[in-house]
Amino acid sequence: MRLERTRVRLLNQHSDSYRLFLFRRMHEMLKNRGWEFELWFMASSESNRHWNFAPSDFGFAYRFLSGKRFRLVRSSLLYWSCEITQVLREANPDILLVSGAWVHPTVFLASLSSIPVRKIFWSESHFGSIQQRGFIVDCARRSMLSRFSEFAIPGELARNYIVHHSSPARIHHFPAHWCAVG
């Protein structure tokens, strides 16, 4: 009997030069475990940066989702890709790791999907990094983060933020332990 490889997909805001090494390292770690890794970007770059990457710069499987960018009053750029639900159905990953901001409509759509059952939100946020405050934003943040039952975090500041803004959750310290989820 042949065991299937665990399929991990990472949904990230955009490609950027300062995270490619980390993504390549994640790919290597998962490959060594016999797992499959693919990264899905909501955009090819930030609107105010124009990085150009050759396919060889990635070193792992990736794709750019189609979609729109828009900005609400005083907000960061938001990414909307209706394609995410179809991509999730087609890829049928075992684990979806979602990184970036909780506020993106693409993240919301991914959180609504029943595929995969296991979704982990990678959060580097902390109380000092909050840009928008107020009752409505706080309710939206808590509602969105509570859609995830697992989080990957870099340290104590992010842990405190997650504990405050979400339901009880399983917390993995990233990057040292995230590949050990199982």
- 127 has a pLDDT exceeding 60: no
Matching residue, tokens 């300062």: 18
Start-to-end C-alpha separation, the chain = 21
The pTM for the full model equals: 0.84
Whether the Cβ atoms of residue 6 and residue 94 lie closer than 8 Å to each other? yes
Q: Are strands 150-153 and 170-173 parallel, antiparallel or unpaired?
A: parallel
Q: Evaluate if residue 171 carries a pLDDT over 90.
A: no
Distance of alpha carbon 149 from alpha carbon 147, whole angstroms = 7
Query: With b meaning 16 or more CB within 10 Å and e meaning fewer, what string describes 124-142?
Result: ebbeeeeeeeeeeeeeebe
pLDDT exceeds 80 at position 134: no
Sign of CA dihedral 130, 62, 70, 146: negative
| CA distances to 29, 57, 59, 66, 75 from 148, in Å | 24, 31, 29, 24, 23
Rounded Cα distance, 13 and 173, in Å: 21
Lowest mean pLDDT among 30-39, 59-68, 171-180: 171-180
Does residue 154 register a pLDDT over 60?
A: yes
Q: Which two tokens stand for residue 75?
A: 């907000």
At 9, the pLDDT band (50, 70, 90 cuts) reads very high
- H-helix or E-strand containing 8? strand 7-14
Q: What is the pLDDT averaged over residues 59-75?
A: 85
Longest dimension (CA), the chain: 55
**Domains along the chain with CATH numbers:** 7-131 (3.40.50)
71-81 confidence digits (pLDDT tens): 876 667 888 99
